[in-house]
Structure 1
Amino acid sequence: MKGLTIDYVTLLPALVPVVGLVVVLVADLVDPRLRRTPYAVAALAALGSAVATVPGLALGGGSARQTFCLAARPAAAGRPAGPGLQQVCLWQADALASTLQLAAALSALVCIALAWPSARRSRPADSTREPVEAVLLLAALAGTVVVAASRDVGTWLIALELATLPVIALVALSGRRSAVAGATQLLVTSLVSFALLVLGTALWFTATGSPFLTPDAALSSGGAFAAAGAGAGTTPVVAASVASGLVALATVLVVAGVGFKLSLVPFHAWTPTAYSGSSVPIATFLATVSKVAALAALLVVLRAVAVLGTPAVLSIAILAALSMTLGNVMALRQDDVVRLLAWSTVAQAGWVVMPLVSISALGVGASATYLLTYVVATLVAFAVVAVTLRDQPGDGRRLTAYEGLWQRSPWRAGALALALTSLAGLPPGVIGLVGKITALRPVMAQGWVWLAVIAAANAVIGVAVYLRWFRAVITAPTGAAPATGVPTRDPAAALAAARRRPGLVLGLVLASAVLVVVSVQPDLLLGLLG
């Protein structure tokens, strides 16, 4: 296209996963019997994507890595250039977008490690599963990376769905009835979400006359609408008022559409079903990478409309309050740790969007900070669950399976304790406490006292949610081992199991190391996000 400039180095965070999935497909054609090669390629691609985001982490002062830039088009004789015709770049990755891309890539790397196949194949049909799973994981990662940097409605919509649709297939891949039920619910809600997002972007285009999600397009909305309605005798004041209302309505629809993907109440119904029906690595991917994609998509829109004031903040406040309350109350009733983490996701989603009642740099940064805090802690919790299921396939999802974990595996218990205290916002999970304080700052700055009170009450309830699990970890099993369902493992057998599934241990170590670092030095995370 004439006037279009492309910088392929800037696109590397998205190109590396795409190249990786192509390599997986080619390798599968050459030798379909390979089991670990697809995961090795996927892990290298995720790591390469993470490394490619590093140059964007040090950006400041409003600068961004840009590509797909369109040169300004000369205005026609007697007609000024309309909105969207100025110099604009379809890909803009500033420090915030680069940090979200890095979080998505590292989370995907941990999920790939957790999904690493054992040395033995349980059934012949598994020979076709590895490359399919690796390709779908990389496709969803590529969509997440793109949506964080997209600045036009076409790329934004396609990338967001690319980050969602492969996950639906991943949920259903095991073929279990519960997995199919979860995938079906996720598919239906994704279709509704997509319809809301399309309607929202259509209203955006109607109000602004621009396909770009930028502040300039939002500012020009009144003029664009007035120009479109000039023939019908619409006055500029009326046109500006109508355009402002359309932008506000478009923002509400986008919040609702993204709310499905973030598991916000009342768009959350699919979450516990999909999580419990999925394998643990895929549930981990849903809880981390998919949430990064959803928040990244929401922030693209909210940063564009921030110049217009605070549209749709009341709807965000209500969704946040409902989500954290219902999520915590339901999590208190769960004895299945995967369903507990699913309802935890609903509650934590409320904390993630709560700072966005202040659509400003402070609110956006606080929202991203809390999301990354939640993602790191959740990765560790799911990794511990995956390792426990390796040792106790029958009942590793029950809270009772974690009784006496401190005596049986101190390092695993320590990792889980740090993750749970981070989610609860208690020491030694310092990063969780920092995240909650950071999330409350924009709320108090904007005077949302009732929302801050609800958040404080839910912080207390959240402590009870995670301490139920933590208490099991530090409690010695009562009675004989067979009665508790916690068998005593021979160290040699545990070592043999670890050798069969080294990815589980590697994923847990990687996630735990990141959590320890950000807990000891929370300034590292806060510095990345400004």
Structure 2
Amino acid sequence: MKGLTIDYAVLLPALLPVAGLVVVLVADLVVPRGRRLPWAVAGLASLGSAAATLPGLALGGGSTRQSFCLTAGTAAGGSLPRVEGLPQVCFWQADALGSTLQLAAALSAVVCIALAWPRAGRRRPEGGTREPVEAVLLLAALAGTVVVAASRDVGTWLVALELATLPVIALVALSGRRSAAAGATQLLVTSLVSFALLVLGVALWFAATGSPFLTPDAALSSAGSFAATGGPSDVVLPSVSSGLVSLATVLVMAGVGFKLSLVPFHAWTPTAYAGSSVPVAAFLATVSKVAALAALLVVLRAVAVLGTPGVLAIAVLAALSMTLGNVMALRQDDVVRLLAWSTVAQAGWVVLPLVSISALGVAASATYLLTYVVATLVAFAVVAVTLRDQRAGGRTIAAYDGLWRRSPWRAGALVLALTSLAGLPPGVIGLVGKVTALRPVVAEGWVWLAVIAAVNAVIGVAVYLRWLRGVITEPEAPQPAVADGADKTGRGGVAVRRPVVVAGLALSAAVLVVVSVQPDLLLRLLG
């Protein structure tokens, strides 16, 4: 198209996962029985995607890295509406906040790949295709997450968000557990409902603004676009248009609420987590949540310029999610289900600052999401390593009794992760995240919501200390007996030490230690 400019360097965070996906498919044709090669390629592609986001982290003062840009004249002369006051409109815009979300998604994918690393000494049976399929699905979901964080047109935004979601449904179904089918089915049904709400929201946005772009300029044009028709509706239609923008925002919030596990859209979460393998559950809890919030922030940053007042629906969803998530987490003995309900509660904290649809609310929400992602990733990594030691028994809280004696470094990582989620020292970054999340709420005068959040912060402490108490104070839990003739390959019930899995835990724990010691580093990354 004439006038279209593409900067491929800016697109590298998305292009590298796609390239890795293609390489995995080709490699599977050449080495059809390799088990580690697909995951190695996926890990390298994810690392490359993370590295490609680094130039965007230094952006400030509203600067963005842009690609797929059309000049205003080209946009006006073609099928796209002209955006007044801009020399060009861009489908891809990544600023410091967007690049940080992309980096978080890519690094989280690296850790999930490490946790899923296959055992040594075992080859896939002839015709088996599970590892390449899983690697391809993971890379596709990562590519969708990266794209949605930088997309600025409704078509790319919607397609990328679904690309970040649908492969994860297949990953849940492929987990091999009996409950995986139920979790995948629930996730698929809720995703279809979510997609319907998002499409309706996008349609209302286009009807209100006349623009396919999710930008502040398009939102501002909603008041003047109808007056340009020259009809007698110069006074009435602008207010109707603004109302449509507000309704579109609410529908997008509801659609993304399914993906964020907000109450009442959360029902799939405990079933899908419990039915998944630990690496897939970790991917659902981290990368998928980054995709959902990134999609929501694209819309909210566009409408913030209208000075939209606090949205009561967001306040209600945040309060319900925090309360129900914490209460249900208190009743769980399965640590994966506990982390699933923790996700519901933490989702309430993630959207809490968005009662202020402003730059302050957006930055606070992104800050809390990144805090949650790092801490949750460490918790899942500890669970994954523990399962290598104790098999199915590692999913119960009792399996972590005396962990401090068996593995001090693993216990230390779990303590840091759970105290970060609770907002207690030594998890300083969790405390910073909660204070940051409450600032916009107090600034907007939502006193009742701040009180509910404070009460839930106390309940959350009880949730995580219930798990930690045995880790620190209880005697070491007895290990299950090993059957006669069992070897150390994992077939006879004995744990298998996999350095790559341990490396995944070490990487995520190191990031959590850094941001806990220097919490201002995270704030600076977000610009």
Q: Aligning the two structures, in what range does the TM-score lie when normalised by the shorter sequence?
A: over 0.9
Residue type of the alignment partner of 1:260: F
How far is the alpha carbon of 1:75 from its aligned partner?
9.5
RMSD: 2.2
Aligned to 1:506: 503
Structure 2 CA distance for aligned equivalents of residues 28 and 411 of structure 1 = 37
Which one of the candidate residues 404, 407, 410 is aligned to 2:405? Answer: 407
Matched residue SS, 2:91 = strand
- CA shift, 1:529, in A, is 1.1
1:142 corresponds in structure 2 to: 143
Alignment check: 8 A CA contact 1:118 1:500 kept: no
**Counterpart in the other structure of 2:13:** 13
The residue identity in structure 1 corresponding to 2:447 is V
Q: Hey, what's the Cα distance between the residues in 2 that align with 1:2 and 1:476?
A: 70
Could you say what secondary structure the match of 1:396 adopts?
helix
Paired position in structure 2 for 1:130: 131
2: CA distance between counterparts of 1:15 and 1:356? 31
> For residues 103 and 385 of structure 1, what CA distance do their matches in structure 2 show?
21
Evaluate the alpha carbon distance shift between residue 249 and residue 76 of structure 1 in structure 2; reply closer, same or farther with a 3 A threshold. closer
The answer (yes or no) to whether the contact 1:222–1:241 under 8 Å persists in 2 is yes
Instruction: Please tell me whether residue 452 in structure 1 is matched to residue 450 in structure 2.
Output: yes
CA distance in 2: counterparts of 1:75 and 1:337, whole angstroms: 53
SS at match of 1:168: helix
**What amino acid maps onto 1:355 in structure 2?**
P
Which residue number corresponds to residue 434 of structure 1?
432
Q: TM-score, normalised by structure 1?
A: 0.94
1:371-520 alignment to 2 at 5 Å? 371-477=369-475, 481=478, 500-520=497-517
d(CA) in 2 for partners of 1:287 and 1:76? 42
Percentage of identical aligned residues? 82
What letter is aligned with 1:338? V
Q: Secondary structure at the match of 2:203?
A: helix
Count of equivalent residues = 517
Q: Tell me the CA shift for residue 503 of structure 1.
A: 2.1
- Offset of residue 188 of structure 1: 0.2
Q: Secondary structure at the match of 2:72?
A: coil
What letter corresponds to residue 470 of structure 2 in structure 1?
Answer: A
Distance 1:388 1:494, change over 3 A: farther
- Partner Cα distance (1:398, 1:74) in 2: 60
Alpha-carbon distance, 1:494 to partner: 11
Deviation per CA, 1:399-440: give whole Å up to 9, x if none: 010011111111110000000000000000000000001111
Deviation per CA, 1:371-400, whole angstroms, max 9, x where unpaired? 000000000000000011111113110001
In structure 1, what is the equivalent of residue 301 of structure 2? 303
More divergent stretch after superposition (459-468 vs 30-39): 30-39
Amino acid at match of 2:172: V
Shift of 1:504: 1.4
SS in 1 for 2:391: coil
Match of 2:117, SS state, is: coil
Provide Cα deviations, 1:303-359, integer angstroms capped at 9, x if missing partner.
000011225611111111110010000000000000000000000000001001111
Correspondence for 1:197: 198
1:284 is the counterpart of 2:282: yes
**Partner Cα separation in structure 2 for residue 34 and residue 175 of structure 1:** 19
CA shift at 1:235, angstroms?
A: 1.6
Query: Aligned with 2:204: secondary structure?
Result: helix
C-alpha contact (below 8 Å) 2:300/2:357 kept by paired residues: yes
Indicate if the aligned counterparts of 1:222 and 1:236 stay in contact, CA closer than 8 A: no
| In structure 2, C-alpha distance between the alignment counterparts of 1:510 and 1:486, rounded to whole Å | 32
Gaps of 5+ in 2: none
Partner amino acid, structure 2, of 1:139: A
Shift of 1:476: 2.5
SS in 2 for 1:221: coil
- Distance in 2 separating the partners of 1:266 and 1:295: 17
Match for 1:513: what amino acid?
A
Residues 3 and 74 in structure 2, CA contact (< 8 A), matched pair in contact too: no
- 1:161 corresponding residue in structure 2: 162
Shift of 1:126: 9.0
Match of 1:329 among 318, 327, 330: 327
Equivalent-residue separation in structure 2 for 1:325 and 1:174 (angstroms):
30
Residue 42 (structure 1) aligned with residue 42 (structure 2): yes
The separation in 1 between residues aligned to 2:40 and 2:178, in whole angstroms, is 29
Residue 120 of structure 1: how far off its partner (Å): 3.9
State the alpha-carbon separation in 2 of the partners of residues 507 and 76 from structure 1: 50
Which residue of structure 1 aligns with residue 61 of structure 2? 61
Question: 2:507, 2:76 → 1: CA distance?
Answer: 57
TM-score, length-normalised on structure 2? 0.94
Distance 1:49 1:127 in 2: 28
| Counterpart among 514, 517, 529 of residue 526 in structure 2 | 529
| Structure 2 counterpart of 1:68, one-letter code | F
Q: Secondary structure at 2:214's aligned position in 1?
A: coil
Structure 1, unmatched stretches of 5+, are none
Residues in 2 aligned to 1:454 and 1:290: alpha-carbon distance in whole angstroms: 27
Matched with 1:338 is 336
2:33/2:126 contact within 8 Å kept: no
The 1:122/1:463 distance shift into structure 2, 3 A limit, reads farther
Q: Check conservation: 1:403, 1:486, Cα contact below 8 A.
A: no
Secondary structure of the 1:222 match is coil
Change (3 A) 1:92 1:390: same
> Hey, what's the Cα distance between the residues in 2 that align with 1:298 and 1:160?
10
What's the counterpart of residue 225 of structure 2?
224
1:251 maps to which of 249, 252, 255: 249
Measure how far apart 1:501 and its partner are: 2.2
The Cα of 1:237 is off from its aligned counterpart by 1.4
